[in-house]
A and B are shown apart, each in its own frame.
Chain A
């Protein structure tokens, strides 16, 4: 079955960087875009950007431009999302999701990133 499995929870200090991975299985990795979405505790969904795993093209929400980088390793069917210059407001669950059917399906299980001194 199609599945996205994300890396485990992270605790980072302000100013540090974090890189979250998303391993895909059950389909051809390069056939569908990846999107990244985050959700702070008790808050709604916030779209961060997308990546075409076939050619590496990316598009980021203006809010994250210059601070977020999305990459992939096609040999291991894994997408990555790195956030730099972390601040406390970046504490959230980060999700990867496959772009398909005019929506996002499926989603990874989420990765909690906690930014704390």
Chain B
């Protein structure tokens, strides 16, 4: 049971848009920045979004992030088959004094 809650899976057609949600509480998302990670099959996770909505250099603007209250959302537009991966949200939890992740969302591009 992860501290942050994500839907297990989402799917969409190539070229479409998808959103992945991440729900938490005031001790984590509500008072800390959220980051998002992409994990392609058989590889290490990769930072996609940091500080709720910023993209590291090299990450295309098809990826976007937002936060409202105790929830965060990752958006991906212009879906490509290469976007098929597991996506994780992460943040700090002040009550636990620990980093926390969501359980991950598996994106399928049909």
Determine whether B30 belongs to the interface, using a CB cutoff of 8 Å to chain A.
Answer: no
Given contact pairs A44-B102, A101-B56, enumerate 7 new A-B contacts (beta carbons under 8 Å): A45-B45, A45-B88, A45-B101, A47-B100, A103-B50, A103-B90, A105-B46
Q: Hey, which chain B residues are within 8 Å of A62, CB to CB?
A: 96, 98
Neighbour of B47 across the interface among A44, A50, A103, A109, CB < 8 A: A103
B55 CB to nearest A CB, Å: 10
Q: Hey, which chain B residues are within 8 Å of A50, CB to CB?
A: 99
How many residue-residue contacts, CB under 8 A, span A and B? 68
Q: How far is the CA of A34 from the CA of B102 in the complex (A)?
A: 20
Name, among A97, A104, A108, A110, the residue most crowded by chain B CB atoms within 10 Å (CB to CB): A104
Name, among B37, B47, B97, B103, the residue most crowded by chain A CB atoms within 10 Å (CB to CB): B47
Q: Hey, which chain A residues are within 8 Å of B45, CB to CB?
A: 37, 45, 95, 97, 104, 107
Q: Hey, which chain A residues are within 8 Å of B64, CB to CB?
A: none
Q: Which residue of B lies closest to A110 (CB)?
A: B44
Q: For chain B, give the interface size range.
A: 20 to 34
Q: Hey, which chain B residues are within 8 Å of A16, CB to CB?
A: none
Q: Hey, which chain B residues are within 8 Å of A104, CB to CB?
A: 35, 37, 45, 47, 90
Q: Which residue of B lies closest to A107 (CB)?
A: B44
Neighbour of A44 across the interface among B33, B54, B101, CB < 8 A: B101
Neighbour of B56 across the interface among A105, A108, A109, CB < 8 A: A105
Name, among B49, B97, B98, B102, the residue most crowded by chain A CB atoms within 10 Å (CB to CB): B98
Q: Hey, which chain A residues are within 8 Å of B37, CB to CB?
A: 45, 103-104
B59 CB to nearest A CB, Å: 10
Are B50 and A105 closer than 8 Å at their CB atoms? yes
